[in-house]
Amino acid sequence: MTTRARRIAKTLMAVAALGLLAACSSVGPQDYLHPEGLVARDTDNLFKPVFWIATAVFVLVEGLILVAIVKFRDRRGGAEPVQVHGNTKLELGWTIAPAVLLAAISVPTVAMIFAQAEVPTGNDVVHVRVTGHQWWWEYEYTDVDPPVKTATEMVIPTGAKVFVEVTSADVVHSFWVPKLAGKQDAIPNRINHLTLIAEKPDVYHGQCAEFCALSHANMRLRVRSLPPAEYEQWLAAQQKPAVIPTSGAAAAGARAFAEFGNGTCMSCHTVRGMDGATGTVGPDLTHFADRMTFAGAIFDTNEENLIKWLRNPPAVKPGSLMPNYHIPEDTIRALVEFLLSLT
Ligand code: CUA
């Protein structure tokens, strides 16, 4: 082996080792091997036996290949091996055995596909319409009147069946909360669905799982499951319009929100309770401060991050539809006060 070839081989091995080491982490917030929702758990209960069966097949087949390579390798000075052309019994065997195995696995698999596609019924089913946007998620709670619209963070009651209708406002996205359920494509002009059931009050991480251009990796989301009574309180609070501040820095921010650039903010964002703030291009901000994160869940909701965001959105989220409006620094600070007042 030349020095160059050896170096390339070493580099490849180092990269492979890194890949293997990365697989050692078992505490990731998006680890689908540790489900915390009934739907994801059902899938996991099917995945595990299939995985071990596949592992046994792998070891058997690779083992036989290794035995053949070692045992029947060309030996110096050896005679030419016996030439054989096929073995009917063997060939029948390795055709029928996998067919039977796959047929057996397909029985519970197909049953589960149909079971999970079933539309849940009953008074306690919660309906949420999820719309993918470049690059954030919108949630609409359609069981209540007036319906509630939020973004980035989906709040659900623990233990309840949450029937999610998934669609898109622009390109194809994929809604994925690994610990709760499988992926579901978000396709414009089409409604797909999936059911989520969270087992305990917790916060689950998720993300868009279909490449959707520049900030695909920044299209994340959270699902927050609350005890049912708290969920009802949350929903009732969300139904109310925003309380628009009338004094202090937050009030100055509210005025800036309405007046900056002739209503630039209001033309893209809805704040229920504020005259003229009815835009639907960007997230509904009515109860913005209730959400733990913003901008596709890439930032925790706090003053520092909001300032960073308003100074230049595309600089911190490439491709962001909200451009850099070159907002003056004191206006940014007032806007942040206003946004953080929207609980
Ligand atoms: Cu949306 Cu990737």
211 Cβ below 6 A of ligand 1: yes
Joined tokens for residue 100: 């039977």
176 Cβ below 6 A of ligand 1: no
**Which residue bears the tokens 């509904």?**
284
Can you tell me the distance from the alpha carbon of 6 to that of 163, in angstroms, rounded to the nearest whole number?
55
Q: Percentage of residues in the chain with pLDDT exceeding 90? A: 78
Sequence-ordered list of residues with C-beta below 8 angstroms from that of 321, at least 6 positions apart, any chain: 134, 281, 282
pLDDT of residue 189: 96
Which of the four pLDDT bands, split at 50, 70 and 90, describes residue 81?
confident
Can you tell me the distance from the alpha carbon of 205 to that of 243, in angstroms, rounded to the nearest whole number?
29
**Which residue bears the tokens 């800036």?**
256
Asked whether the predicted pLDDT for residue 334 surpasses 70, the reply is yes
CA of 206 to the centre of ligand 1 (A): 11
pLDDT of residue 25: 65
- Looking only at the bridges linking them, the beta strands covering 173-176 and 293-294 are unpaired
In tens, the pLDDT along 13-28 reads 888 887 777 766 667 8
Tell me the pTM.
0.85
Mean pLDDT computed over 184-189: 96
- 26 or 186, greater pLDDT: 186
Lowest mean pLDDT among 143-147, 164-168, 304-308: 143-147
Atom of ligand 1 nearest to the CA of 134: 1
In tens, the pLDDT along 323-332 reads 999 999 999 9
In tens, the pLDDT along 149-159 reads 999 999 999 99
Nearest to 134 by CA among 265, 317, 299, 308: 317
Would you say 283 and 268 are in contact if contact means Cβ atoms under 8 Å apart? no
CA of 280 to the centre of ligand 1 (A): 19
Mean pLDDT computed over 118-145: 94
pLDDT of residue 204: 95
What 3 state SS string does the chain have? Answer: CCHHHHHHHHHHHHHHHHHHHHCCCCCCCCCCCCCCEHHHHHHHHHHHHHHHHHHHHHHHHHHHHHHHHHHCCCCCCCCCCCCCCCCHHHHHHHHHHHHHHHHHHHHHHHHHHHHHHCCCCCCCCEEEEEEEECCEEEEEECCCCCCEEEECEEEEECCCCEEEEEEECCCCEEEECCCCCCCEEECECCCEEEEECECCCEEEEEEECCCCCCCHHHCEEEEEEECHHHHHHHHHHHHCCCCCCCCHHHHHHHHHHHHHHHCHHHHHCECCCCCCCECCCCCCCCCHHHCCEECCCCEECCHHHHHHHHHCHHHHCCCCCCCCCCCCHHHHHHHHHHHHHCC
179 Cβ below 6 A of ligand 1: no
130 Cβ below 6 A of ligand 1: no
Burial 298-309 (b: 16+ CB within 10 A, else e): bbebeeebbebb
Which of the four pLDDT bands, split at 50, 70 and 90, describes residue 1?
low
Joined tokens for residue 56: 């046994």
Would you say 150 and 116 are in contact if contact means Cβ atoms under 8 Å apart? no
How confident is the prediction for the chain on average, in pLDDT? 92
Q: With 0-12 CB in 10 A as exposed, 13-18 as middle and 19+ as buried, what is 228? A: middle
Can you tell me the distance from the alpha carbon of 229 to that of 216, in angstroms, rounded to the nearest whole number?
35
CA of 219 to the centre of ligand 1 (A): 6
212 Cβ below 6 A of ligand 1: yes
Protein residue whose Cα sits closest to atom 1 of ligand 1: 173
In tens, the pLDDT along 263-285 reads 899 999 999 999 999 999 999 99
Would you say 165 and 129 are in contact if contact means Cβ atoms under 8 Å apart? yes
What 3 state SS string does 34-63 have? Answer: CCCEHHHHHHHHHHHHHHHHHHHHHHHHHH
CA of 135 to the centre of ligand 1 (A): 6
pLDDT of residue 251: 92
C-alpha 264, offset from chain centre? 30
Nearest to 143 by CA among 117, 163, 159, 158: 163
Asked whether the predicted pLDDT for residue 174 surpasses 80, the reply is yes
pLDDT of residue 148: 93
52 Cβ below 6 A of ligand 1: no
pLDDT of residue 26: 63
In tens, the pLDDT along 192-239 reads 999 999 999 999 999 999 999 999 999 999 999 999 999 999 999 999
Mean pLDDT computed over 102-114: 94
Would you say 177 and 206 are in contact if contact means Cβ atoms under 8 Å apart? yes
Asked whether the predicted pLDDT for residue 30 surpasses 90, the reply is no
